[in-house]
């Protein structure tokens, strides 16, 4: 009986010890996983309207993928962006300067169509914590 109780205690401690890494893995994409799936629509497509407008499709990966999270990327002028996928723990940051050291102009934490994005130039990055 004592042996069974000891075994149960050891198993319980092992489960608790393994819970924290599992939570971390659930929050941040694994290396090479897609962190965000994006579609940038041209300036005339302000509501992610696909009729006659071909979007630029971009997948951003967790390192070592390319392009990878944390990298400042340029898309030029666009009218709207559809965030199709966004991994848990990741955000889409829109910046107005090319090196993304300025504070983010807009931060999106959810998927869906983001409208009214037209500007002379837009820079963005995906950041995962």
Query: Could you read off the pLDDT of 92-124 as tens digits, one per residue?
Result: 999 887 788 889 989 999 999 998 775 656 889
Tell whether 3 is covered by a domain: no
Which tokens sit at 44? 């005339």
Tell whether 123 is covered by a domain: yes
Tell whether 4 is covered by a domain: no
- What is the number of H-type helices and E-type strands within the chain? 1, 8
Residue 52, pLDDT > 80, answer no
Tell whether 90 is covered by a domain: yes
Q: What percent of the chain has pLDDT over 90?
A: 37
Tell whether 53 is covered by a domain: yes
Number of domains observed in the structure of the chain: 1
Tell whether 58 is covered by a domain: yes
DSSP 3-state assignment of 37?
strand
Tell whether 16 is covered by a domain: no
Q: Provide the domain limits for residue 99.
A: 34-128
Tell whether 26 is covered by a domain: no
Instruction: Calculate the alpha carbon distances from 102 to 70, 74, 117, 121, 122 in Å.
Output: 14, 14, 18, 14, 12
CA angle 12, 18, 20 (to 5 degrees): 120
């Amino acid at each position: 009986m004592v042996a069974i109780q000891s075994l149960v205690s050891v198993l319980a401690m092992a489960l608790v010890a393994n819970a924290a890494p599992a939570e971390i893995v659930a929050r941040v994409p694994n290396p090479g996983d897609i962190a965000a799936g994006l579609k940038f629509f041209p300036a005339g497509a302000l509501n992610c309207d696909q009729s006659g407008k071909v979007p630029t499709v971009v997948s951003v990966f967790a390192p070592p993928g390319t392009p990878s999270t944390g990298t400042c990327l340029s898309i030029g002028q666009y009218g709207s962006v559809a965030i199709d996928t966004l991994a848990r723990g990741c955000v889409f940051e829109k910046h107005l300067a090319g090196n993304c050291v300025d504070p983010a102009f807009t931060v999106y934490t959810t998927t869906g169509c983001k409208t009214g994005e037209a500007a002379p130039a837009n820079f963005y990055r995906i950041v995962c914590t």
